[in-house]
Amino acid sequence: IAQCLVGSEMCIRDRTRPTIQKSTGFSYEAVLNKYTEILNNQGIIFKGLAYGEFYPKKSEFTEHNISLGLGYRFKDQKNQLDLYPLIEKTRAYHHWYSERKGFNISYSKIFNPNLYFSLQTEYKWEKYQDRNLSYQDGKILSFFSTLVYSLPNDWILFGGLDYAKKFSTESKIDQYARKGIRIGINKSFESGIDITAQGIFRKIDYQDYNALLGKTRKDNEQKYLFTFAIPKFKFYDIVPSINFIHTNHQSNVEMLYRYKQNEVVLKFEKTF
């Protein structure tokens, strides 16, 4: 809220932090990948992904996401290459909120039985359905790399580097570069318990000074995930797991963008 003196260029801004809200909800994720070989290790790949969060008592925070892709795949014993266009849609705030169209290039390689590498590149055009938000329309270029190494006694170490850049918006204020690193470890026990611990660290730098905020926004995010799965207790091939997620998001614009979030998620996973 800004109050300005009549006949003066001096204004006093009064900012208030949104009230912290708590709620119980449900999250879901469904993945469908289908590969059909046509000729000599080449074929057609379909990729479908749906995920979101549902809050019965806070429906304004409910969000649904859909991603669809159809394209080409080359695959042999050690290499895999996917090329396909994709479309993504997000439904939030009781209406279709945004849409992204683009293409994906993914490559993965098995160097040996213990070492696996993958690199994914995406280029997308993002458009907001509410034209009052059209100033945020832009393009997003992203890279995701992952390295997985199998250790003795059923230990797996994994990690990767991420990079995303949003550009071509109406103003540089809404453009950003995001850099991240992921590292984690997984252990399968003979008792039938599977444990995964992962840390994700990201740095987001916005590209221009924001006069309303009084500074150029810079964020840092830390996310810690711990998954406790019990495959031996599966029923109808559905594996139950408990997931603990802690997010610590820091920003130089503390009033608006700094927050901490804790989640406990009970997940049921089925592979077809």
Is residue 265 within 8 Å of residue 247, measured between CB atoms? Answer: no
| Contact (CB, 8 A) for 124 and 88 | yes
How large a percentage of the chain has pLDDT more than 90? 69
Q: What is the pLDDT of residues 224-243, one digit of tens each?
A: 999 999 887 777 778 888 99
**Burial zone of 270 (CB within 10 Å; 0-12 exposed, 13-18 middle, 19+ buried):** exposed
Q: Is 8 helix (H, G, I), strand (E, B) or coil?
A: coil
87: domain CATH number? 2.40.160.10
For residue 11, tell me if it sits in a domain. Answer: no
For residue 3, is pLDDT > 70? no
Of 223 and 18, the one with more pLDDT: 223
* Domain that residue 103 falls in: 75-270
Residue 26 near residue 58 (C-beta atoms within 8 A): no
- 144-170: pLDDT as tens digits: 999 999 999 999 999 999 999 999 999
138 or 131, higher pLDDT: 138
Count of H-run helices and E-run strands, the chain: 1, 15
Tell me: pLDDT of 15 over 80: no
The structure tokens listed for 187 are 């252990």
Mean pLDDT of the chain: 90
Q: Is residue 25 part of a domain?
A: no
Is 27 part of any domain? no
For the chain, percent of residues with pLDDT exceeding 70: 90
Mean pLDDT of 179-192: 95
The dihedrals phi and psi of 39, each to the nearest 5 degrees, come to -160, 130
Confidence of residue 272 (pLDDT cuts 50, 70, 90): low
Number of domains in the chain: 1
Answer yes or no: is 43 within a domain.
Answer: no
Mean pLDDT of 54-68: 89
Q: At residue 50, does pLDDT exceed 70?
A: yes
How much is the average pLDDT of 93-116? Answer: 96
7-11, 80-84, 154-158, 160-164: which has the minimum mean pLDDT? 7-11
Residue 13 lies in a domain: no
Query: Taking Cα atoms as reference points, which of 82, 7, 22, 56 lies closest to residue 263?
Result: 22
Q: What is the pLDDT of residue 65?
A: 96
Residue 28 lies in a domain: no
Structural domain contains residue 182: yes
Cα(140)–Cα(94) distance, integer angstroms: 25
For residue 15, is it within any domain?
no
